[in-house]
Amino acid sequence: MNPVIAYVQIGPVEIAYSRGGRGSPLVLVADQALQELFEPLLSGHFCVISPVEAASPRRNAAWLRGFLDALGLPPPRVVADAEGSAAPIELMLEDPGALDKLAVLCDRQSSSCAQLRRGGNPRLLHLHSAAEAFGPADSAALLGFLR
């Protein structure tokens, strides 16, 4: 994938993001290393949109909603790593219809993730795998869930 770097204005702040691939939009909220790992896997199936510095602790549900609204996206699929998961989990808790699906990739269970999983939320996948241990079975589970 050769992503294109673009910018979107959210209030007074300009946010850089990469966009590449084909298909339905998928927002990847992760640090740069994880973006580089997952963009090739996901871009063959989705148009992957990756905000720069998305895993920043300053990012919250309002920021993510503003980003999605500024891009004019319908409720997208979102993949997030442990550090980037706070904003999409918060958004899904506040407004369950804001995201189509959410996949969280981390080796620990967050209390927010547990809250979303209560009742067997079919729009949430929590893969208990650290990025360095992410293997073919995890890839298959992730792509199967996102389709």
Q: What does the pLDDT look like over 78-124, one tens digit per residue?
A: 999 877 888 998 998 899 899 999 998 876 666 656 665 665 678 88
In 102-111, which positions are buried (b, 16+ CB within 10 angstroms) versus exposed (e)?
bbbbbeeeee
Tokens of 72: 């004019």
pTM of the entire predicted model: 0.86
Contact 84, 60 (CB under 8 A): no
In this structure, what DSSP letter does residue 81 have? E
CATH for 4-146, options being 3.10.180.10, 3.40.50.2000, 3.40.50.360, 3.40.50.1820: 3.40.50.1820
What is the reported pLDDT for 108? 60
Spatial distance between the Cα atoms of 135 and 14, rounded to a whole number of angstroms: 35
